[in-house]
Amino acid sequence: MAITKSAQKAIRKSKRKRTYNLVHLNRMKNLLKETKDFVLKKNIKEAKDLLPKVYSAIDKAAKTGVIKKNTASRKKSRITKLIQRH
């Protein structure tokens, strides 16, 4: 357990930051999974309608530092390519 006040504060901060990061990460992952499910079920229209929300979630995760900029770009590219192929 942390002894100094600054170490205790660092632990509190890291817990808050982790929950904040997990919110963005889980939202992004769930939207990606939902979009992929639509594509597998041949519901391309629903997948295309969900695409702006996916982009927004990915961009927000990149902006807040949950994922890196290139990772965000790669995820957006791959999900778009997946929808275009079907």
Q: Which domain holds residue 71?
A: 44-86
In a domain, 5, yes or no: no
pLDDT class for 50, splitting at 50, 70, 90?
very high
User: Is 31 contained in some domain?
Assistant: no
pLDDT above 90: residue 60? yes
CA angle 73, 16, 29 (to 5 degrees): 35
- On whether the CB atoms of residues 32 and 75 are closer than 8 A, the answer is yes
Q: How far apart are CA 74 and CA 56, in angstroms?
A: 14
| Residue 86 confidence class, pLDDT cut points 50, 70, 90 | confident
Is position 68 within any domain? Answer: yes
* Domain assignment present for 57: yes
Q: Which residues are within 8 A (CB) of 48 and not within 5 positions of it... i.e. 6 or more apart?
A: 83
Spatial contact of 31 and 43, defined as CB atoms under 8 Å apart: no
Mean pLDDT, range 30-57, rounded to an integer: 96
- Summarised one tens digit per residue, pLDDT across range 65-85 is 999 999 999 999 999 999 999
